[in-house]
Amino acid sequence: MINNQSIVKTPASCGELLQGVINEQFLLVPCPINFYSTVTVKIDDSTQIKCPSEYPKSKKAVCATLEYFSLDKVGAIISIKNPIPKSKGLGSSTADITSAIAATARATNNVINPEEIAKIAVSIEPSDATMFSEITAFAHQSGSIIETLGKLPTMEILAFDFGGLVDTIEYNKTDRFNQWKFFEHETIQAMDNIRNGIYNRSVNLIGKGATINAITSNKIVPNETLSQMIEFAAEIQSAGVSIAHSGTYISILLDPSEKRSTSVMKQAQSEFTDIKNINHFRTVSPGPIYI
């Protein structure tokens, strides 16, 4: 066990395709993208856990994983490379935590499955579902799998940041369950479109579901920019809009076969002068990748 090392990377999630309440469960559906957090865990016999101070959640993840496997007499050195912006709704913390858990398990010669990773992750904070190998409707506070939806078709995403920061832990201290419960019918409708879109490899159906959910979110937390972006997406006949429910990003979803991300980006820049940053992503398969 001593001096074993593992490197794992996990994708970010560009907000969520869906968030809401269905059948008394508060859940989300992630949108994994080609943007990764890479964590290296090196196990030694020091009994100390060394981690950069700016990544306290990753340190907690390593400690929790060692405890899970009853390893109380080992130490670890944690290194993290994460270009994902923090507090923007891109799942940066979940990517760090998932990579840290998976790397710790591998470095200590233990096997860990996505369900176990999820349970450890949500013990640290509410988490995205990017630890699973397929798109999963996930109870992000309790760690329960609601439904496995399958593989996403490739989508192009133009993610627009309009500024500000959102602390995930603080955001989740506000109980919005009853507000989302009131709009359960709309959430079910959005989920039906996303489920059918994944099954039929239809970017347009997924975009329709994500847009329905974004409109619902706007009824709970009104955002004038989101309303304008939804109108813009309809005007340009994009597949739809997704949002970071606990973040600052609003995204346009595009079918990559249309090859118009550049023109849409330029048009959006001319119509929304308060955009702070734009990212061009593609969806990827979720789940930790062992390097």
Q: What pLDDT shows up at residue 267? A: 96
Distance CA 117, CA 96 (A): 12
- Whole-model pTM: value is 0.94
Could you write out the three-class secondary structure of the chain? CCCCEEEEEEEEEEEEEEEEEECCEEEEEEEEEEEEEEEEEEEECCCCEECCCCCHHHHHHHHHHHHHCCCCCCEEEEEEECCCCCCCCCCHHHHHHHHHHHHHHHHCCCCCCHHHHHHHHHHHCCCCCCCCCCEEEEECCCCEEEEEEECCCCCEEEEEECCCCCCHHHHCCCCCHHHHHHCHHHHHHHHHHHHHHHHCCCHHHHHHHHHHHHHHHHHHCCCHHHHHHHHHHHHCCCCEEEECCCCCEEEEEECHHHCCHHHHHHHHHHHCCCCCEEEEEEECCCCCEEC
Neighbours of 231 (CB within 10 A): 11
What is the phi/psi pair of residue 80, to 5°? -135, 130
By the 8 A CB rule, do 99 and 256 touch? no
User: Which neighbouring-strand residues pair with 219?
Assistant: none
Q: 133, 14, 168: which is closest to 84 by C-alpha?
A: 14
Q: Exposed, middle or buried, 34 (CB in 10 Å: 0-12/13-18/19+)?
A: middle
Distance CA 274, CA 261 (A): 19
Written as six digits, the tokens of 106 are 């591998």
**Per-residue pLDDT of the chain in tens (291 residues, 90 and over written 9):** 556 999 999 999 999 999 999 999 999 999 999 999 999 999 999 999 999 999 999 999 999 999 999 998 999 999 999 999 998 999 999 999 999 999 999 999 999 999 999 999 999 999 999 999 999 999 999 999 999 999 999 999 999 999 887 666 566 667 789 999 999 999 999 999 999 999 999 999 999 999 999 999 999 988 889 999 999 999 999 999 999 988 899 999 999 999 999 999 999 999 999 999 999 999 999 999 999
Residue with tokens 């398990």: 105
Q: What pLDDT shows up at residue 163? A: 85
58, 204, 248, 260, 268 from 278: Cα distances, Å: 27, 22, 12, 15, 10
The region, left, alpha or beta by phi > 0 then psi within -120 to 50, assigned to residue 9 is beta
What is the phi/psi pair of residue 255, to 5°? -75, 120
**What are the structural domains, with CATH classification, of the chain?**
5-290 (3.30.230.120)
